[in-house]
Amino acid sequence: MFNKIEPRRENMRKDDDHIALFIDCDNISHRAIEGIIDELSKYGVVNIRQAYGNWTKDNLKNWEAKLLEFAIKPIQQFDYSKQKNATDILMTIDAMDLLHTKKIDAFAFATSDSDFTPVVMRVQQEGIKVFGFGEKKTPQAFMVACSQFIFTEKLMSSKEIIKEKKKITTDFRKDKWLLKLLSNAHNQTMDEFGWSNLSDMGAYINNNSSFSPVNYGFKKLSSLLRAIESYDIYMDEESKQMSVREKSYRA
C-alpha cells in the first residue's frame, strides 16, 4: 500500500484508481496542463477531465488546442454578471454530483481561487484525497486544505525547473517551515538509534501537510533530503527500504 522508497509518489497509487480533474481555466495557464496530467498519472487514471470557462472569451483561446490534445471536456459557462463569473458555482455543483454518484478515488482541482476551499474540505470529509494545483499567488487557505498542493510554475516546463535548480537548492535550506516539517517527521518516527524509515517519515508528512517535493524542484522526498545535506541516508539492499538519520544525531 505504501512504497518504502517513494512515499509521496506511491502512497495512493493503485492501477485502478479513478481521478476526477476539474480545471478553472480562468485561473490556470494552459501551459500547465501537461504537467498536471503527468503528475496525476503517478497516482491513477485521470478518466474524468473537465475544463470550465466562458469559451466565448478571447482570453481562453489558447486552451482550445490543449482540450483536444489531452481529451479534456470543455464545460461552457456564461457570465451572469460583469463582476463575477459563474464558473466557480458550476464546478462546485459538478464536483458534489460526482462525489455522491460516482466511485472516485481522488479529486484534483486546478485553480488559484480560494473559493474552492470549502469544496476541498467537503471532499476530504469523505476520506477522499484531493490534489491541488495553482499558481504561487494561490491563497494559503486553499493550499493547506488539499492533501497535496503543487505550484503550476514548477510543472510548466522541465527546462524551467532545471534553470531554477541552483536557486532552489540555496533557498529551501532557509525555509523554516520545511525544515521544521522534516525535523518533526523525523523525530516522531525515529527508533532508539535515531533512524527513521523513509516511508514512515513520508506518511507522517502526508498526514500533517499538503507538502510536495515538486515545489522544491525534486520528484522524491529522498532527493530533497539528500540536497539538504543534514541527513544520513541508508538503503538496505535486501529489503530495499530506505532509512534516514540527522547527521547531528548523538546517541
Write the pLDDT tens digit of every residue in 135-173.
999 999 999 999 999 999 988 754 444 444 544 555 677
Per-residue confidence band for 216, with pLDDT thresholds at 50, 70 and 90 = confident
Angle between helices 176-189 and 221-228 (to 10 degrees): 110
Residue 121 has pLDDT above 90, yes or no: yes
Which pairing describes strands 231-235 and 196-197: parallel, antiparallel, or unpaired?
A: unpaired
Position 95 confidence tier, pLDDT thresholds 50, 70, 90: very high
Please return the burial class of 121, using the count of CB atoms within 10 Å of its CB with bins 0-12, 13-18 and 19+: middle
Task: Report, as an integer, the average pLDDT of 109-131.
Answer: 94
- Could you report the per-residue pLDDT of 30-62, keeping only the tens digit for each? 999 999 999 999 899 999 999 999 888 888 999
Q: What's the pLDDT score for residue 102? A: 87
The pLDDT tens digits for 77-86 are 877 655 556 6
Instruction: Answer whether residue 89 shows pLDDT above 50.
Output: yes
> Could you give all domains of the chain from N- to C-terminal order, each with its CATH number?
7-156 (3.40.50.1010), 163-246 (3.30.420.610)
Arithmetic mean of pLDDT over the chain: 84
Q: How many CA atoms lie within 13 A of 195 on its CB side?
A: 10
% of the chain surpassing 70 pLDDT:
84
The region, left, alpha or beta by phi > 0 then psi within -120 to 50, assigned to residue 113 is beta
C-alpha cell at 100: 455522491
Residues, the chain: 251
